[in-house]
Structure 1
């Protein structure tokens, strides 16, 4: 196992452990540059991957899809029909093809709270990735304090 494989395994091990600590009734929003291409096979990943994925799936994409399936999360970026410049988050340096690598994840039951998730072109920053924004309508319930 190479060090990059070990680092990926450790990352997903830590992610699984962290997600397991979040109470089921809590809202959960995960944002990240997963360096994962999840592809377009929404039939195989029903409830996780929407009909507007991009490109092909890579090993990191498979790891992310499995983690989402296990924790009942969905990739909000793939549920909205958008122009390419609002869907893709990065351009591959050699192929010059746009790809989707950065994601906003929510619980499946909270899908209706997400109004849109998209990449924006003109955000300032020292990165080759586009900023991803997600507009949501959150209905939060105050927690009751134990008496």
Structure 2
């Protein structure tokens, strides 16, 4: 996870496995965005916060400090593709009281409960 300063743009054919349909469609993919997508393809990763549909304020992770109308999605959480079934949600938190122009991203996942070994009764 981190501030990649990459705009990945809308979903395109070679990146459908790594880039979800709910990315920032307003801005085209930039140089850093191409590097993020190539990193995902090379290491079998996907961008979690582009696979879940949310309001715009929960998609955009950066905004200009003096004009909140200028915003984009440049912070991502990357996860291995085999873990996709455990991720249940991923979104930016719009009103976090932090002293930064970036919004934190929260990803929710499920985990398996560990089975306790059965105790065998002695006979």
Q: CA deviation at 1:68?
A: 0.7
Q: Is the 8 A contact 1:92 1:99 kept in 2?
A: no
Query: What is the number of equivalent residue pairs in this alignment?
Result: 111
Deviations 1:64-111 (A, max 9, x none): 100010000000011011110011101256894321011111111111
Q: Taking structure 2 as the reference length, what is the TM-score of the superposition?
A: 0.81
Structure 1 runs not aligned, ≥5 long? 1-30, 142-147
For the pair 1:50 / 2:20, whether they are aligned, the reply is yes
**Which structure's residues are more often helix, by fraction?**
1
Structure 2 runs not aligned, ≥5 long? 115-123
Match of 1:101 in 2: 74
Match of 1:72 in 2: 44
Write the distance in 1 (CA, Å) between the matches of 2:68 and 2:15: 27
Residues 35 and 53 (structure 1), Cα distance of their counterparts in 2 relative to 1, 3 Å cut: same
Q: Taking structure 1 as the reference length, what is the TM-score of the superposition?
A: 0.69
Single out whichever of 103-112 and 41-50 deviates more from structure 2.
Answer: 41-50
Q: What value does the CA root-mean-square deviation take over the aligned residues?
A: 2.0
Q: CA deviation at 1:46?
A: 1.8
